[in-house]
Amino acid sequence: MCQNEEAMTSLPAVPLTLEGASVLHQMMRFRWTAWKALAPAQQDAVLEEATAMLADIAGDTQQSAVYSLIGHKGDLMFLHFRKTFEELSRVEIALARPRLAEFLEPATSYLSMVELGLYESTLKLYTSLAERGIEPHSAEWNQEIEEQLARQRQTMAPRLWPCIPDRKYICFYPMDRRRGENVNWYQVPMAERQRMMHEHGMVGRRYAGDVKQIITGSIGFDDWEWGVDLFAEDPLVFKKLIYEMRFDEVSAAYALFGTFYVGLRVGVGELAALLKT
């Protein structure tokens, strides 16, 4: 094996990523029996307080949205995009303060960060550095990596710090890459992973006009490795997109999917109409 080939085989296996907004999903069950026991005037007072609070946390600089979940997995989902985990903690506590919280029972939650995977640029950069004889993880290697990431962060800023899309429907689900008995994503060479991810991404691009997708990374933060949020005006697009993606190699061979949550966007001013008996 020549020296260049040896350098190529010793490249780091981990692709570069860019991280942005901190994201929290809160799935809640509503205690309807306790709620219906309140007099109409009491319900009005609770809803007035809750509406004011939600309007405050869902402002232009503090992004939050409410969804009415469809099915048995929950009644409401609160979605929060913030700059940091500290801000997510504050909004979680703020949501627990109003009296409406007495009627909300947590079903589950999901913590993650907006993540952009850089498989293609990682492979090109690692290869270039290896061809120049720069040792992986050396000071020079790390400096070149950070310079590349800094340029990418500027270019990708709108995707790293997105607004919550103003679409009627949301579909959220967590997912993993297989690392079991038969196949292990984390043992596949990077060039192969890059090829499969490129093919996977080409499917999603065909749906770009109908669905907005936000991928978040959750390794070390929650029970799955990634979270996927899809936003659309027509829920049928969720089925078509996810079904088609099941046939590409990266999904067919390596993907594991968690629980799916589908909901309808509820404006702050619409909460009273949703809950009022």
- Largest Cα separation within the chain, whole Å, is 81
Is 250 exposed, middle or buried (CB count within 10 Å of its CB: 0-12, 13-18, 19+)? buried
Lookup result for tokens 């594991």 = 256
pLDDT tens, position by position, for the chain (277 residues)? Answer: 444 444 455 789 999 999 999 999 999 999 999 999 999 999 999 999 999 999 988 876 669 999 999 999 999 999 999 999 999 999 999 999 999 999 999 999 999 999 999 999 999 999 999 999 999 999 999 999 999 999 999 999 999 999 999 999 999 999 999 988 789 999 999 999 999 999 998 998 899 899 999 999 999 999 999 999 999 999 999 999 999 999 999 999 999 999 999 999 999 889 999 998 6
Active-site residue among 110, 169, 173, 254? Answer: 173
pTM for this predicted structure = 0.93
Provide the residue ranges of all domains of the chain, joining segments of one domain with +: 1-277
Fold of 1-277: Alpha-Beta Plaits (3.30.70)
Contact in structure between 234 and 210 (CB atoms under 8 Å): yes
Over the stretch 97-118, which tens digit does the pLDDT of each residue have? 999 999 999 999 999 999 999 9
Instruction: Determine whether 126 is an active site residue.
Output: no
CB atoms within 10 A of CB 183: 12
Lookup result for tokens 């994503």 = 185
Helices (H), 156-207: 157-160, 190-205
